[in-house]
Amino acid sequence: MLRRSLGSIVSLASRKYSGKSFSSNMAQIINGNEIAKEIRGQLKQELKDLVDSGNPVPHLTAVIVGEDPASEKYVQNKMNACLEVGISSETKRLPASTTQEELLQLIAELNKDQRVTGVLVQLPVPEHINERTICNAVDVDKDVDGFNELNIGRLALDMDGIVPATPLGVKRLLEHQNIETHGRNAVVVGRSKNVSLPMAILLHADGKYATKALDATVTICHRYTPPKELARHCRQADIIVVAVGKPGLITKDMVKPGACVIDVGINRIKDEKTGKFKLVGDVDFEEVRQVAGHITPVPGGVGPMTVAMLLHNTLKTAKKQFCDRQAS
Ligand code: NAP
């Protein structure tokens, strides 16, 4: 309760003194860009300390298979962020015709390469390649995405490991905004294995273990949750995290006044007024901000936090490897 109360005071104070006009019942917009920038600054210092104490510069290798423009853009953002904090990085681009065996061979080489401390294979991979086989092939200690079954298993068992960047980014946003989660009702909309499942685990698991999870009561909704039930569950939630990929899925009537709404969705749609393409989330932002207490925008909410948490994971994996090497 205290965390929420302090958060509300800070939120009201910052709105009051921002000099901008605001309506008191409008949600506070969570600025993921600003929070991520702050985190990148901290990581830059952490990296400097690591290297100053005699360790090599961590190195992240990203692999893209095929020519998906969205994947190219996401990987470019990640590489730019690496450059900003001082992590060495490179992107390996393979044609869409690459076989699963060829991709597994490359991953095996990267796993063996001592210079490479982090490996990520940008998803989705072409349909003829099995995504799970690829995620499991990345060495668990270099798995900066946290998609290897061992890392997901560790998360499920409250053990320390690498947590997928998007849910970890959402957790950091909630903590940064002092959103109370302990004993609160949370709804996760979506049940994907890489985003929503780890999100639900982080929200519901016990805060006293290594994952320092959030102690909420969690409901997971998915494709087969009837729309009326989805609305009913959402209306009871103090925190809604939506990761589906359907613009306008979460509307004003589905949100309890004062709830915190985190929009993970990214959808490219045509703006009817300008005719240009733009990015939107899964939440009807303009409507929902009239009832919510906090809300993330798209773009500028969860996206930059995902990148910041990928850097966090890259530093964490590198530190563990340097430590293990010293011990052996
Ligand atoms: P995904 O694997 O396609 O999963 C989408 C999930 O939504 C599935 O579990 C699906 O259910 C569920 N779903 C579909 N229709 C639904 C409905 N009407 N009501 C409730 N649930 C429904 O996608 P993802 O990888 O989790 O990503 C979700 C969204 O987040 C996408 O827009 C993606 O671009 C975005 N994303 C953003 C970031 C970021 O950094 N901001 C990172 C990752 C992903 P079934 O399981 O039954 O199919």
pLDDT digits (tens, 9 = 90+) for 86-136: 999 999 999 999 999 999 999 999 999 999 999 999 999 999 999 999 999
Residue type for position 291: V
What is the CA(244)–ligand 1 centre distance, in A? Answer: 3
How far lies 134's CA from each of 70, 125, 193, 202, 209, in Å?
Answer: 20, 9, 14, 24, 29
% of the chain residues with pLDDT over 90:
91
Which architecture, in CATH terms, is 14-30+177-302? Answer: 3-Layer(aba) Sandwich (3.40)
Contact 131, 142 (CB under 8 A): no
Q: Is 248 in the pocket of ligand 1 (CB under 6 A)?
A: no
**Residues annotated as catalytic (active site), given as ranges:** 78, 122, 145
What is the CA(14)–ligand 1 centre distance, in A? Answer: 33
Contact 176, 35 (CB under 8 A): yes
What ligand 1 atom has the least distance to the C-alpha of 281? 32
Contact 234, 187 (CB under 8 A): yes
What is the CA(21)–ligand 1 centre distance, in A? Answer: 35
Among 17-21, 242-246, 276-280, which is the least confidently predicted range? 17-21
User: 21 Cβ partners below 8 Å, 6+ apart?
Assistant: none
What is the CA(189)–ligand 1 centre distance, in A? Answer: 8
CATH classification of 56-138 is 3.40.50.980, yes or no? no
Task: For ligand 1, pick from 264, 279, 280, 307 the residue to mutate: most ligand atoms within 8 Å of CB.
Answer: 264
Q: What does the domain layout of the chain look like in residue ranges?
A: 14-30+177-302, 56-138
Provide mean pLDDT across the span 49-72. Answer: 97
pLDDT confidence tier of residue 24, bands split at 50, 70 and 90:
low
Residue 23, classed as helix, strand or coil, is coil
Instruction: Give the model confidence (pLDDT) of 179-237 as tens digits.
Output: 999 999 999 999 999 999 999 999 999 999 999 999 999 999 999 999 999 999 999 99
Give Cα 40 to chain centroid, integer Å. Answer: 15
Q: What is the pTM of this model?
A: 0.93
Query: Which pLDDT does position 19 carry in this prediction?
Result: 31
Contact 274, 296 (CB under 8 A): no
Q: Is 303 in the pocket of ligand 1 (CB under 6 A)?
A: yes
Q: Is 265 in the pocket of ligand 1 (CB under 6 A)?
A: yes
Instruction: Give the model confidence (pLDDT) of 234-276 as tens digits.
Output: 999 999 999 999 999 999 999 999 999 999 999 999 998 899 9
Task: For ligand 1, pick from 191, 244, 264, 310 the residue to mutate: most ligand atoms within 8 Å of CB.
Answer: 244
Contact 184, 158 (CB under 8 A): no
Contact 152, 198 (CB under 8 A): yes
What ligand 1 atom has the least distance to the C-alpha of 305? 40
Provide mean pLDDT across the span 290-300. Answer: 98
What is the CA(151)–ligand 1 centre distance, in A? Answer: 21
Provide mean pLDDT across the span 50-54. Answer: 97
- Burial of 119 from C-beta contacts in 10 A (0-12 / 13-18 / 19+): buried
Identify the helix (H) or strand (E) that includes residue 75: helix 69-85
On the question of pLDDT at 6 being above 80, the answer is: no
Query: Which pLDDT does position 11 carry in this prediction?
Result: 43
Give the alpha-carbon dihedral of 144, 221, 132, 199, to 10 degrees. 10
Query: Which pLDDT does position 328 carry in this prediction?
Result: 85
Query: Which pLDDT does position 25 carry in this prediction?
Result: 78
Distance CA(138)–CA(135), nearest Å, equals 6
pLDDT confidence tier of residue 297, bands split at 50, 70 and 90:
very high
14-30+177-302 and 56-138 share one fold: yes
| Mean pLDDT value across the chain | 93
Q: Is 247 in the pocket of ligand 1 (CB under 6 A)?
A: no
Closest C-alpha to ligand 1, atom 18: 223
